[in-house]
Structure 1
Amino acid sequence: MRVVLITGAASGLGWELARACHARGDALLLSDLDAAGLAARVAELGEERVLGVAGDITVGEVQGQLVSACRARFGRLDLLINNAGITHRSPTVHTRPEVLRRVMAVDYHAPLELTIASLPLLRESRGQVIAIGSMAGWMPVLGRAGYCAAKSALAQAFEVLRAEIARDGIGLLMVYPSFLDTPIERNALGGDGRPAQHPRSTIGKVRGAAWMAGQILGGADARQQRLFPDRGSWLASLLWRLAPAFYYRQMSRRFAGELG
């Protein structure tokens, strides 16, 4: 039986990943900041092979608790899915520093730190790590400076980490989704740290979380290194590199609402 640790598992993509993994017989260690929501999800799946640990994933003690709980309850870890995330929708110059720091802490520092803490277990199983990045880490998006920076840092760090842990037989899949219909956008922060008041701008097709979960687990089963599930966004990232001035003009028109 495979043991899977999923962060941000109480809703959205994390919950769909949990449901899919549970349906195929995996044991689950689920984590989320929303303690009540997490408890409801664990109850829904049943506690026979599911354990929930609530807490702020950016806190080192919580990361250590997850690793300790995984070893104590299951004795192994086969797959770590770094899914928990947060975003903001606000012009850079109108975004408080604490908002930018929070986004970086959740989207970059926490997944890297949890992955490093989990390596002893993953070495034993010759397991696998999944990190949920974003196409926003490959190209600029108006109103998302902190998010773009965090996802760019995540991608660079994990691309380096991949080569370093490959010697231990550990695989690493970086996922680069585009716009998803999940609570991360509905709960986006504004520049003052409160929920963003304006509707989000998008480009391309907005995908469902269940569809995305299937793509991710299929990529993991194939031991892929990178997954670009939305071809339109992948092409847009190439446009940014090949014709940046044209890309900026198109983005400025499409995302004008992000500037307030």
Structure 2
Amino acid sequence: MMKDFWNDKVVVITGASSGIGEALLKETSRFVCTVFVLARRANEIEEPSSKHKECKIIPIAVDLQDSCSVSDALEILHRETEGIDVLFNNAGITAHGRFDELSMEVYRKTFATNFFGPIQLIQGLLPQLKKKKGRVVTTSTVSALYGIPGRAAYSSSKSALHAALEAMRIELREEGVGSSLVCVPYTETALRKSGLDASGQILDEGQAKAKLKTPEEVALLLMKTAMDREARLVTFDRSGRFVKWMRNLAPGLLEKILHKKLYHDFKN
């Protein structure tokens, strides 16, 4: 079934140089398709050894924090393809810090990468997405479902993205453009090595002390989500489902649990 779906597709992946994006490239390149891989360090992206000989990989350098860079990438994409089947809106940045300590620059940088850059890219690719009745599959987080203590900038940037892409899905229903938001759990990536602290410095934190998913596991879930036109808000594990339901059923209890679980994160 995977082969039937992905063969002859045109795919765009943001944040493709590492982590989940790199795993998406590895998995999609197994098929006879065209994959545009977008990243700041696109020149460093290597073709996977498992790549199908007829798969075409096209790297494009882009910095989502820079609107001119996004415009340049869009110009290349418009020139190279007339239609897009799946856009994996995967690139993102995390930010850790208390609300009363976060600098406005952290908010600006976080929103530039997680919201404004992706929105500019998606809007610019709508003609190609409409032509193929394509789908936007967003790598999101449980932190987008509720304001997570110690993650105000990160949570709010992802929540804003959720709202915009949900509105897009409803508005473009008749044109056939879909949007799925996938709240992935803790994953073995370098996200905490490249995120921001409250003052805007590089976070450089170790992996979360939790059971981690591999980038390959998450990539396969994202690909399965792309194949399901009815997928809207997808949660991966028990913690995601818990926050998804508790935010409406018992928000007071949810806040008590988050306060206790993450107390040392935001208190320190």
If the length of structure 2 is used for normalisation, what is the TM-score?
0.87
Choose 69-78 or 23-32, whichever is displaced more: 69-78
The answer as to 2:135 corresponding to 1:128 is: yes
What is the identity, as a one-letter code, of the residue corresponding to 1:240? R
Matching residue within 37, 43, 48 for 1:39: 43
1:42 Cα deviation from its structure 2 partner: 3.8
The C-alpha deviation readout for 1:5-45, integer Å capped at 9, x for no partner, is: 11111001111111111112221111112x2xx32324556
- The ranges of structure 1 where at least 4 consecutive aligned residues each deviate by more than 4 angstroms after the TM superposition are 43-48, 197-203
| Distance in structure 2 (CA, Å) of the matches to 1:201 and 1:182 | 10
| Distance in structure 2 (CA, Å) of the matches to 1:197 and 1:246 | 32
Residue 220 of structure 1 is matched in structure 2 by 226
The C-alpha deviation readout for 1:193-246, integer Å capped at 9, x for no partner, is: 11226556566x432211011011011112233222223321133223333332
1:71 Cα deviation from its structure 2 partner: 3.3
- The answer as to whether partners of 2:13 and 2:90 remain within 8 angstroms in 1 is yes
After TM superposition, the structure 1 = structure 2 runs for residues 229-244 of structure 1, keeping only pairs within 5 Å, are 229-244=236-251
More helix by share: 1
| Distance in structure 2 (CA, Å) of the matches to 1:197 and 1:70 | 33
RMSD, matched Cα: 2.2
What is the identity, as a one-letter code, of the residue corresponding to 1:143? G
SS at structure 1 position matched to 2:174: helix
Residue 154 of structure 2 is matched in structure 1 by 147
| Distance in structure 2 (CA, Å) of the matches to 1:168 and 1:68 | 23
The answer as to 2:118 corresponding to 1:111 is: yes
What is the identity, as a one-letter code, of the residue corresponding to 2:21? G
Structure 1 alignment gaps of length 5 or more: none
| Distance in structure 2 (CA, Å) of the matches to 1:197 and 1:15 | 20
| Distance in structure 2 (CA, Å) of the matches to 1:133 and 1:186 | 18
- The answer as to whether partners of 2:192 and 2:204 remain within 8 angstroms in 1 is no
After TM superposition, the structure 1 = structure 2 runs for residues 41-80 of structure 1, keeping only pairs within 5 Å, are 41-44=45-48, 49-80=56-87
1:175 Cα deviation from its structure 2 partner: 1.3
| Distance in structure 2 (CA, Å) of the matches to 1:237 and 1:223 | 20
After TM superposition, the structure 1 = structure 2 runs for residues 152-163 of structure 1, keeping only pairs within 5 Å, are 152-163=159-170
What is the identity, as a one-letter code, of the residue corresponding to 1:14? G
SS at structure 2 position matched to 1:23: coil
Q: Percent identity?
A: 23
199 and 247 in structure 1: CA distance in 2 versus 1, 3 angstrom threshold? farther
If the length of structure 1 is used for normalisation, what is the TM-score?
0.89
- The answer as to whether partners of 1:81 and 1:130 remain within 8 angstroms in 2 is yes
| Distance in structure 2 (CA, Å) of the matches to 1:73 and 1:24 | 19
